[in-house]
A and B are shown apart, each in its own frame.
Chain A
Amino acid sequence: MKNFGISIREVENIRVLDISGELDAHTASQLENSLKALIDQNEICIIVNCKGLDYIASAGLGVFMAYIEDVRGMGGDIKLTNMNERVYNVFDLLGFPTLYDIHDDESEALTGFNK
């Protein structure tokens, strides 16, 4: 069975979630729990680094859809970085690049938060 993994780092007061493996309707709840826990602690400047993410289905995108309004309303953001081409393609098919701040590299997203 394929795994999904998630770990959290702190970089310059920004919370960075490193996600890896396959994000689908089975594993989306793990990402959701981590995001929700951060938001509940008022940690609203969040980067999701997708470097290790091999696969995403719409259930994974749904997690981002559910929380972005709350986070932006509180003055934060969820920025997405380091997607491989296949994963980016799924975001692109659904028009996410115009609605989310997506960067090639984590450092660009950090710069965006520190502006």
Chain B
Amino acid sequence: MAASNNIYSLSVEASTSQLAKVRDFVAEHAERLGLSEKEIGNIRLAVDEAYTNIIKHAYKNIPAKPVEIELGSDNSHLWISIKDEGESFDPGAYNEPDIKQRIKNKQRGGMGVYLIRKLMDNVQYNRSGHMNEIRMIKHL
């Protein structure tokens, strides 16, 4: 694999108040790589969904928990890594949401993982020690 060019990182607390800042961080760097407006929009949304899931599920809305975001690229890929120290997510146990059924049951949520998979080219979940990582990759 080709060496990464610059890697940019952002440390934030797990809080929905930081969502706009996180989205703008990835959008700013994606823009520098010359991605189209649509692709940048897709990346903003995928990162929003991943970070929101960390706040709600990994940390269960407990404030002041750490989240590390890294963005890097080589000649053919853009990758975004988001790390947390909360409860891990088992992607194997995840089922595609049946929106019609969820509406009937007045349920919400469960759509983020599905959206991330639709919006990015490759999504990996890693667990190392107490650290969870979601790594989202977009082909350039």
* Chain A residues engaging chain B, CB cutoff 8 angstroms: 1-2, 22, 24-26, 55, 57-59, 61-63, 65-70, 86, 89-90, 93-96, 99
> Which secondary structure dominates chain A's binding surface?
helix
Give the size range of B's interface with the partner: 20 to 34
Q: How far is the CB of A43 from chain B (nearest CB, A)?
A: 19
Which of A22, A57, A66, A67 has a CB less than 8 Å from the CB of B49?
A57
CA distance A53 to B102 in the complex (A): 24
Given A58-B111, A59-B52, A63-B108, verify A22-B103 contact (CB < 8 Å): no
Question: Once the chains bind, are A66 and B55 in contact (CB under 8 Å)?
Answer: no
* Residues of A contacting B44 in the complex (Cβ-Cβ under 8 angstroms): 55
Given A58-B109, A94-B114, verify A68-B48 contact (CB < 8 Å): no
Question: Once the chains bind, are A2 and B114 in contact (CB under 8 Å)?
Answer: no
Q: How far is the CB of B61 from chain A (nearest CB, A)?
A: 10
> Which secondary structure dominates chain B's binding surface?
helix
CA distance A68 to B99 in the complex (A): 12
Given A2-B20, A55-B44, A93-B118, verify A65-B106 contact (CB < 8 Å): yes
Question: Once the chains bind, are A94 and B115 in contact (CB under 8 Å)?
Answer: yes
| Chain A CB within 10 A, most for which of B19, B23, B44, B55 | B19
Question: Once the chains bind, are A99 and B100 in contact (CB under 8 Å)?
Answer: yes
CA distance A61 to B111 in the complex (A): 9
CA distance A40 to B115 in the complex (A): 32
Given A2-B20, A59-B52, verify A69-B99 contact (CB < 8 Å): no
Near A by CB (< 8 A), chain B positions 70-96 give: none
Given A58-B109, A62-B108, A66-B106, verify A26-B17 contact (CB < 8 Å): yes
Question: Once the chains bind, are B52 and A70 in contact (CB under 8 Å)?
Answer: no
